[in-house]
Amino acid sequence: MPTTQISIENEVTLRNLKAAFEGESNAHARYTAFAVKADSEGLHGAASLFRAAARAEQIHAESHARVLRQLGAEAAATIQPVRVKSTIENLNEARAGERYEIDSMYPEFIREAKGHNNTAAVRTFEWAIEAEKTHARLFSEAIAVLESGWLIAARNYYVCAACGYTAETPESERCPTCNLQWEKFEVVR
């Protein structure tokens, strides 16, 4: 029956959107706590990176929530208590989380949403995975820099207000992921 088929498809998409909303909401909470810890260790550059990534994850959560509401569902997340360790450990944990989303979670969600032609779900997942790739790279670079004794100074990051793309410099006219104008990027320090 077509109606049964549609509801099963929606169920999978909804479950994935809710899982992604939950994951992004918790990543936002985790990175916000990690930023406080980095500042307390005098690693203000790492704190800036965590704040920028936290804002990007919040933008992803908001984007997933919009799609959930379009599908008639609620967006609700349970925020888990954050276990804050040293900044180097927090950076490693953050990178591992990003890699899970890049290598496993989002590719599966995108494949599923494409299979059901849910273009809104495909778009919000694709926007998120592109930003997570830059986060994984930035966390990797921060780990290398921290191991050589830097990351002391706070610095600006530029976060796309639509898709969460996170850049170190305002280098181009538009967001490479979603095409938003650079003037609409948020500066996070």
Q: Which residues sit at the interface with Fe ion, rule CB under 5 A?
A: 132, 135, 160, 162-163, 165, 175, 177-178, 180
Q: How far is the CB of 180 from Fe ion (least distance, A)?
A: 5
CB 175 → Fe ion: shortest distance, Å? 3
Backbone φ/ψ region at 149: left (φ over 0), alpha (ψ -120 to 50), beta: left
* Residue type for position 98: E
Which element (helix H / strand E) includes 21? helix 2-40
**Closer CB to Fe ion, 157 or 165, in the complex:** 165
Provide, rounded to whole angstroms, the least separation between the CB of residue 101 and Fe ion: 7
Of 115 and 170, nearer to Fe ion (C-beta) is: 170
Q: By C-beta, is 121 or 139 nearer to Fe ion?
A: 139
Radius of gyration of the chain (CA): 17
Question: Least distance (Å) from Fe ion to the CB of residue 131?
Answer: 6
Whether residue 87 contacts residue 37, with contact meaning beta carbons closer than 8 Å, is answered with yes
Nearer to Fe ion, 33 or 73 (CB): 33
**Distance between CA 10 and CA 169 in Å, rounded?**
39
Residue with tokens 């925020």: 79
For residue 60, the minimal CB distance to Fe ion (Å) is: 7
Query: Which residue, 117 or 172, is less far from Fe ion as judged by CB?
Result: 172
Q: Which residue has the tokens 């950076």?
A: 91
Range 138-149 burial, b when 16+ CB lie within 10 A, else e:
bbeebbebbeee
